[in-house]
Amino acid sequence: MNLLLEFPVAASLAACILQFGSAWKALGKGRRAVATDADGDLPGVSILKPLKGVDDRLLDNLESFCRLDYPRYEIVFCVQGTSDPALRVARRVKETHPEREIVIVVGDSQEGLNPKVNNMMPGYAAARYPFVLISDSNVAPAPGYLREAMSHFRDPSVGLVSHLVRGTGAKTLGARLENQHLNTYILPSISLLDRMFGMPCVVGKSMLMRRADLDAMGGLASVKDYLAEDYVLGEMFRKAGKKVVISGSPVDNVNVYRTPRQFLSRHARWNRMRFSIAGAGYFAELFTNPVGLSLLMVAAAPGDAEAWTVACGIAAAKMGMDYGMQRMLGDRSSPGWVLLGPIRDVLAGGLWFSAFFSQNVEWRGRTFRVTRGSRLVPVGEAPEMEPTAEAAR
């Protein structure tokens, strides 16, 4: 076998074991979390829901927020333009749940380059409670989600609370690839970075913060030109001396009908984003894909039976960890789906290299170049002389 590749393969498998252990501890802590604040002590929360088109099970996702066990909160549905079909779904939720404070804000903000932030800005201006929760349209939480999230603010030094994300609901191959990647790579990676390296990675699916803190840092306008607005927000809070908490109580990201092409396109964009943020640190991700590295070892010596044996053993070990992660997250689908794991790992390995071939991303019909810190620049336009991401934080 190639000795130059044996060590990286072994290190990669060890990294996966550390990821698995970190996720196990984080999820265990999340299950033990108890929020016992009396209703009178809990401040009001404005939940911003940026909507764009009709996501999988959109009605069910939005209605799940009407069943939260929390005394005072409003739901602010944000839609860009009256022609968006999501507007009809939002109106139906409001009609079906008159007991809830629901506000629908139809805006047309084009202040920034990030369409999600543009969508939320009019809703943010209309929100009236002292805490703001940003939650994507494909998220479906448990009833105790908001109470648990708010419990972290018992510590006055906490500035932002995000959550681990669990992919659920897959009925197509692309959706299964997406959910398995979320559950067996993204979630464990976030757990490892947070628990072992003290690097909380904020996920935009769930971000809870005091409005006063965010306003003091420039509000949503401060992240309007970034692809990774969630990462930038987390860095802003951290540099302001506020703690960023990653809760081990996962929220569900519902992916039901997705194509393999959508999976590939989405994660190619994410890789370019992570490369723009991490720089040379992006190379560390090579050590989180032992299946891909073991295949490189086989490619270097295709006739070496020992290399093939090691590659098969690595694939079996990784499938075992994937299966364990799915069970920890409550996925009771057929164990046969775990066989998809090595295929997904090979695809993910190929996508990793895509970050080096292009800085451009397609997002909602527009093409952007992703520059340092995930700052967006429209293709064909020179970047304006604005403060850097570091200064903006």
**In whole angstroms, what separates CA 344 from the centre of its chain?**
18
Of 269, 321, 261, which Cα lies nearest the Cα of 290? 321
What's the pLDDT at 228?
94
145: CB partners within 8 A, 6+ apart: 68, 163, 249, 251
Name the domain boundary from 235, 256, 277: 256
Average pLDDT for 90-114 = 95
In a domain, 363, yes or no: yes
Of 368, 373, 369, 370, which Cα lies nearest the Cα of 388? 373
What's the pLDDT at 36?
59
Is residue 12 located within the same domain as residue 97? Answer: no
In a domain, 84, yes or no: yes
pLDDT tens-place string over residues 184-213 = 999 999 999 998 888 999 999 999 999 999
277: CB partners within 8 A, 6+ apart: 228, 231, 373, 374
Is residue 65 located within the same domain as residue 203? Answer: yes
In a domain, 273, yes or no: yes
Is residue 14 located within the same domain as residue 36? Answer: no
Name the domain boundary from 201, 223, 256: 256
Is residue 156 located within the same domain as residue 92? Answer: yes
Is residue 8 located within the same domain as residue 134? Answer: no
Work out the number of other CB atoms within 10 angstroms of the CB of residue 169.
18
Report the CATH number at residue 161.
3.90.550.10
Is residue 16 located within the same domain as residue 33? Answer: no
Residue 80 parent element (H or E): strand 73-80
The CA dihedral of 167, 245, 13, 349, to the nearest 10 degrees, is 50
The mean predicted confidence, pLDDT, of the chain is 90
In a domain, 378, yes or no: no
Domains: count for the chain: 2
Is residue 102 located within the same domain as residue 235? Answer: yes
Average pLDDT for 160-166 = 97
In a domain, 284, yes or no: yes
Tell me phi and psi for residue 68, to 5 degrees. -70, 140
To the nearest whole percent, how much of the chain has pLDDT over 70? 93
Of 94, 104, 37, which Cα lies nearest the Cα of 63? 94
Please check whether residue 35 is in contact with residue 150, taking contact to mean a CB–CB distance below 8 angstroms: yes
Please check whether residue 366 is in contact with residue 212, taking contact to mean a CB–CB distance below 8 angstroms: no
Q: What is 312-331 written as a DSSP string?
A: HHHHHHHHHHHHHHHHHTT-
Is residue 272 located within the same domain as residue 165? Answer: no
Of 147, 142, 65, 146, which Cα lies nearest the Cα of 102? 65
What's the pLDDT at 128?
96
Tell me phi and psi for residue 27, to 5 degrees. -70, -35
Is residue 231 located within the same domain as residue 275? Answer: no
Flag whether pLDDT at 180 surpasses 50.
yes
Is residue 188 located within the same domain as residue 311? Answer: no
Please check whether residue 326 is in contact with residue 333, taking contact to mean a CB–CB distance below 8 angstroms: yes
Please check whether residue 317 is in contact with residue 291, taking contact to mean a CB–CB distance below 8 angstroms: no
Of 363, 344, 349, 327, which Cα lies nearest the Cα of 173? 344
Average pLDDT for 159-180 = 95
Identify whether 230 is a catalytic site residue.
Answer: yes
pLDDT tens-place string over residues 49-68 = 999 999 999 999 999 999 99
* Higher-pLDDT residue of 225, 196: 225
Distance CA 319, CA 172 (A): 20
Distance CA 328, CA 6 (A): 30
Is residue 36 located within the same domain as residue 51? Answer: yes
In a domain, 381, yes or no: no
In a domain, 56, yes or no: yes
Name the domain boundary from 256, 282, 311: 256
In a domain, 175, yes or no: yes
pTM above 0.85, yes or no: yes
Is residue 56 located within the same domain as residue 33? Answer: yes
Domain residues for the domain of 332 are 3-23+265-369
Token pair listed for 299: 């490619």
Residue 177 parent element (H or E): helix 173-181
Please check whether residue 112 is in contact with residue 35, taking contact to mean a CB–CB distance below 8 angstroms: no
Tell me phi and psi for residue 4, to 5 degrees. -65, -20
Residue type, 53: G
| Lowest mean pLDDT segment, chosen from 33-42, 247-256, 352-361 | 33-42
Flag whether pLDDT at 341 surpasses 60.
yes
* Environment class of 325 (CB within 10 Å of its CB; exposed 0-12, middle 13-18, buried 19+): buried
Average pLDDT for 306-335 = 90
Catalytic residue among 225, 230, 252, 322: 230
pLDDT tens-place string over residues 111-146 = 999 999 999 999 999 999 999 999 999 999 999 999
